[in-house]
Chains A and B, each alone.
Chain A
């Protein structure tokens, strides 16, 4: 079974600065997908960014980008020009194609943004 580890329970960043959230995973599969989801106080799970494992190019979505290191099984999220609205829980998730397309989530990182 796959496991996803987020080693930073909490992070803080100054508004307009850059922050990187860490995620590592354990798998024996070669093809899979990785995601970052944001959960603000409203508790809605919002897709931030996604990465296909077969793609070497790192995904980017506006101020959000990832550093995908397949050999190291690492998938970090970089948030540039942090905004107050970025404050939330962030979850890293692994999708196994071979296991019924099930998502396995990490424990989450709480991001605080200081004005």
Chain B
């Protein structure tokens, strides 16, 4: 089974709709992240969480919100979707343990299209 899963894998929605993307991990990592990838570009950080009570805005948080329901679950919400939020969304986890490199491991991505 995959260590980091995302649901749904693909979603088409309409402008103004509320959308939730979910991420679950079995790696036991404390840190979780949401990224967005636009065509031909690298990933940009939306939100990140270092534990259940710690949530931080990333580079492009406007129009998004998150919820860390448990160590293993981190959800991204678009309260009122707009077409320029059409993108590929990635969840990632990392474990900055003592002496470890803080390497992020990514889920398979969710392709979101807002019409």
Contact = CB atoms under 8 A, between A and B. Distances in A.
Interface in A55-114: 91, 93, 95, 97, 100-103, 105-108
B104 interface: yes
B41 A107 contact: yes
Interface stretch (B65-73, B75-83, B88-96): B88-96
Interface residues of B, number: 28
Interface residues of A, number: 24
Q: How would you classify the secondary structure of chain B's contact residues: helix, strand, loop or mixed?
A: strand
B103 A35 contact: yes
Given A107-B40, A108-B40, A108-B41, A50 B88 contact: no
A107 B42 contact: yes
Interface string A23-43: 000000000010101000011
A69 B47 CA distance: 31
Given A43-B108, A101-B31, A108-B40, A95 B48 contact: no
Interface in B42-68: 42-45, 48, 50, 56, 58-59
Contacts of B59: 102
A50 B103 contact: yes
A52 interface: yes
Interface of B: 31, 33, 35, 40-45, 48, 50, 56, 58-59, 88, 90, 92, 94, 96, 101-106, 108-109, 111
The 9 closest A-B pairs by CB, nearest first: A105-B42, A45-B106, A105-B43, A43-B109, A101-B102, A91-B42, A44-B108, A107-B42, A102-B45
